[in-house]
Each structure stands twice: as C-alpha cells, then as structure tokens.
Amino acid sequence: MIYQKDYILRMIEMIGELVAAILGNIKKGQYKQAEESLEKAYYDFLKEDAAFFRKLPAEDITAELLQKHNYTNGHLEILSELFFAEGELNYSREKYAQSLESFDKSHILLKHIIKETRSFSLEKNEMVALINDRIKSMENLA
C-alpha cells in the first residue's frame, strides 16, 4: 500500500511538470504539440484514451471512476490536471463549449479531492479559484 501511495505521488509530481510543459506549448501557439502530449498523457498515466474520459458525464464522473473503474483519489487528481490543461488548450483554440466542459470536470474532481483529503492546500484552493474564474468568463461564450 505504501508503494502504491509513493507511486501515485510521483505520478502527480510528473503530471504537474507535464501540464506545465503543455501550458507552455499553448502559450507559444504550439497547439498540435500540446494536443499530442495531452492525448499521450491520458493513456500513459490513466491507461485509457482521452475519449473515454470525455464521454463520462460531469455529474457522475467521480462515482463512475471510483466505484466502477477502481480509480483512486490520486488518479482523480491526475485527471483533474489533464482536464485543466485540455480546458486551456480548447480555450486558446476558441472552442469554448469543449473548454467549459473540461474546466467543469476538472473543478468537480478537484473539489472532490479537497473534500476527501480533508487537509488545507493553498495550491488546490488557488486552482479551484482559477477554474471558477475561467468558467465564469466563458459562460456567455460557450
């Protein structure tokens, strides 16, 4: 069990670095490279392609993954990061409906993680605030 927790923590650190690189590609306008990295990350980290996660309804996403697919909160944290990066990519491409959906799922997953871990994390709370701002700014665009 300890090995699994260490493994998940290392994966979370790695995904943070990867998401930072993806966001860097987006800033540079390298959308294709960002998209390829993102698609690969879904499978490398979560063993499913991005389409699998996109199809899951936002309101059922945590229960679906935790109960039916045996994911852990660590997996959900990774998925939240990937959805955030996907939201940024779609926002940059002016695909606001897809961006809003990605940000919504990221928000739901992150709120679940915060609730379940029951520990204060400034970084996670700042991310929730950032996602909330993104969602509010797109409500009229999508």
The pLDDT assigned to 117 comes to 80
The DSSP line for 27-58 is HTT-HHHHHHHHHHHHHHHHSS-HHHHHHS-G
Number of domains present in the structure of the chain: 1
The pLDDT assigned to 86 comes to 97
The pLDDT assigned to 92 comes to 95
The pLDDT assigned to 128 comes to 86
- Domain of residue 120, residue span: 2-138
Task: Give the tens place of pLDDT for each residue, 33-78.
Answer: 999 999 999 999 999 999 999 999 999 999 999 999 889 888 999 9
How far apart are alpha carbons 112 and 141 in whole angstroms?
27
Which residue would you say has higher pLDDT here, 127 or 22?
22
Task: Give the tens place of pLDDT for each residue, 95-132.
Answer: 999 999 999 999 999 999 988 887 667 788 888 888 98
93: phi then psi, degrees, rounded to nearest 5: -90, 5
